[in-house]
A and B are shown apart, each in its own frame.
Chain A
Amino acid sequence: MTALDDTPAGPAEAGQVAAPDEAVGARGLLRALLRNRLAAAALVVLAIFVVVAVLGERLAPYGRNEVSSADKLRAPSLEHPFGTDQLGRDVLSRVLIGAEPSLRVGLVAVGIALVAGVVLGLVAGYYRGLVDDVVMRCMDVLFAFPAILLAIAVMAIRGRGATNAMIAIGVVYTPIFARVTRASVLTVREQVFVRAARSIGAGDLRIMTRHVLPNVAAPIIVQTSISLAFAILAEAALSFIGLGTQPPEPSWGRMLADGRGFIQDAWWMAVFPGLAIFAVVLSFNVTGDALRDALDPRQRSAIESAAGRG
């Protein structure tokens, strides 16, 4: 399955993704994940970060932009467990407060890609023919642009900042979701239960949402988890070139990018936000991997996500 492959029976698609009758329920899924010890640990880490993101400011001992030139570049101590940055701000507080913007960029960006990609992929795979050709060729065009550059170009047109970063990252990941969805839809649309629904006169919309979508959910869920990991990294990369979250708002990517010049004098400035990124991204990756083992034994999403790295 490569960028332009149009044949439903490509090598990685020779089998089918989680046959409809096996569609795993949410509880079964969770059980499968918890059986995998690595994935269980990852879920716990993610849960902790979500709590931190929700509580954010209430957990932080200091404010997000409490500068104090007298306290700059202090090493970790009881007063400042993660030290202070070049403006004398408490790094622990900023890491805690930074959880929310960092996760939000990832979630919203992937949310955009998920909705747009799934709708397009569903329509293309369900109707096939001209609609399919037009939609998928458009996705191919989008896919042919290098991801980071596409994001930079989107921001050059729309301006910088967290909102535009989300849109930019979302646009970049849309074609991947469209393809994963379409490929699965192709295998499902000819199944007996879909034909049956059609024969009793169910409308297209109803068939798509009631019968097709639930049965193609597995690879999409896997792709979502992996894309979340990449989206958080992408925000860090955009922050490196100054395009991501804007100061004084503390996103982890921004803090890591700002801390890189201080690595020899004040390692704590970069190491703590860096560890936060590492933990979250690793957790999303491990979860995605475990989900894939459980849901998508033919590894379709592995190929797509490999292709999606820019």
Chain B
Amino acid sequence: MIRTPRASALAATVALLAAAACSDGGDDVPVGGEEAGSGGTFVAAISAQPDQLDPHQTTAYASFQVLENVYDTLVVPNPDDLTFEPSLATDWETSEDGLTWTFTLRDDVTFHDGSELDSADVVYTFRRIIDEELQNAYRFATVEDVRAPDPTTVEFVLSEPTPNLLDHVGSYKGVAILPEGAAEDLDLATEANGTGPFRLEDVGADGITLTAFEDYWGEGPGVDEVEFRFISEPTTALTALQTGEVHWTDNVPAQRVEELQGSGDVTVETVPSVDYWYMAVNFARPPFDRAEVREAIALALDREAIADAAQFGLARVNQTAIPEESFWYHDYAPYERDVDAARDLLAEAGVEDLTMGLMVTDEYPETVEVAQVIAANLEEVGITVDIQTEQFSTWLDRQGAGDFDAFLLGWLGNLDPYGYYHSQHVCEGENNYQGYCDPETDELLERAATEADEDARKELYDEAAERIVDANSYIYLYNPSVVQAWTDEVSGYELRPDRAINLETVTLS
């Protein structure tokens, strides 16, 4: 591997001097670089403090809000239709048998410390994730080898065709590319050395500061500095936005959206997200093992009221997981509220005086709201719901231990149907906590995972989805919207359905 940190550091210095020279002439005139940015500090209010900043280890959304702007991946989802487009990799091709994927890397990318990106860094990154069995290791179950035939080429050798490999190497910054040896040289929990538009400057209790990276390979950045502040109380975050203390926030209460959009003080935008929320019952606990009981529950729900309680008209009812904007959307909605039919089904199953514990968490307050509507709905068919609000950590333990009757939760940020359906519904799936097991669904999902032809693959997933919905493995409820707001000083910001907060092209006036 050839790395030339000294040479590129020198280059950076030269670039800096040149920039300084340019601006020398007119100190009083705002300096517009080629990026058309007028500099300044962009202040964003996010609702939680990141737990740590190692992209391969953290699972917190707050961490990824920051990391999105510090690191890059081989490919990235396009903000409009979420198909993959080049990022650190310019090109990729798949071998005839689908077992070898070859990525060609950009040759003009430097890390924040000035060293150049090459294929060894990419190999190091994926070896780290796979060998150390980190968070995303499961995505690479079919990867037999990652190798670097030359400095700008990376090959993934697979045990079986993996049509959604792009999703695995690029759907979010959890698979960010690190420089070789980063985990040994740096404390990645608080330090970073990425290739993104901003470098990590300071991590503190009050906030996280990023500064513009002059040698960024893409366009931008348009601001000199980004500051993330942590404001958990929505009223406070919104007030801070309205008074101009911050430029941007995603901590906007759904009930305020309509009024804010009307007032014109700030820009509030919403876009349907790729997320879905659902209820699952425990197949291992009678009577929830009976299909009639699950169907009765599905029929008793007032899904419109549920979506309304969750996000005040911004959430859309969906009886499958994938939202209608997606290529993979399948229009299938067999359930319509029918209290009598639900009662009959329960009677048929011989179930009386059923009490169902429903586990929710105030980590996601919408689950608590929705649970109250579900409780009212189910009461009408004679099921008493005991709402159990837990700390998220406790919630996850109980889920993992199978210690629940039913729970409410969502899946965030999936793009490929594999992510939407596979690990949740195959018999031995690592996220199949409800205990659904149907050999035919398994077969469909396994075939779909390796089917190279997109249309054929979609058909397999459509069929699997129908079986999943019919059996009520998950009782799908709705797809929420992404809601974010910013001041009129901000331009160039684009809301994304996958909730990534990309500030590369943002400028301030």
Contacts and interface: CB of A to CB of B under 8 A. Distances in A.
In-complex A–B contact (CB below 8 Å)? yes
Interface of A: 65-67, 69, 72-73, 86-87, 156, 159-160, 242, 246-248, 260-265
> Among A69, A73, A262, which residue has the most Cβ atoms of chain B within 10 A?
A69
A263 B253 CA distance: 12
Contact of B389 (A73, A247, A260, A265): A247
Contacts of B391: 156, 160
B311 to A, nearest CB: 11
Main SS of the interface on chain B?
Answer: helix
A72 B235 contact: no
Main SS of the interface on chain A?
Answer: loop
A195 to B, nearest CB: 55
Interface residues of B, number: 26
Given A69-B309, A261-B253, A160 B389 contact: yes
Contacts of A65: 372, 375-376, 379
Given A69-B302, A242-B362, A264-B256, 6 more contacts: A65-B372, A65-B375, A69-B309, A69-B373, A248-B375, A265-B255
B77 to A, nearest CB: 32
Interface of B: 234-235, 253, 255-256, 259, 302, 304-305, 308-309, 362, 368-369, 371-373, 375-376, 379, 387-391, 394
A246 B388 CA distance: 8
Contact of A66 (B376, B387, B388): B376
Contacts of B376: 65-67, 248
Contacts of A73: 255
Contacts of B234: 261
A168 B23 CA distance: 63
Contact of A262 (B255, B362, B375): B255
A174 B256 CA distance: 43
B90 to A, nearest CB: 47
B373 A87 contact: yes
Nearest to A88: B305
A261 B373 contact: no
A53 to B, nearest CB: 22
Contacts of A265: 255-256, 259
B139 to A, nearest CB: 33
B394 A159 contact: yes
A288 B258 CA distance: 47
Nearest to B393: A156
Contacts of B308: 69, 72
Given A86-B255, A247-B387, A263 B235 contact: yes
B168 to A, nearest CB: 36
Contacts of B362: 242
13 contacts: A69-B304, A69-B305, A69-B308, A73-B255, A86-B369, A87-B309, A87-B369, A159-B394, A160-B391, A248-B387, A261-B255, A262-B255, A265-B256
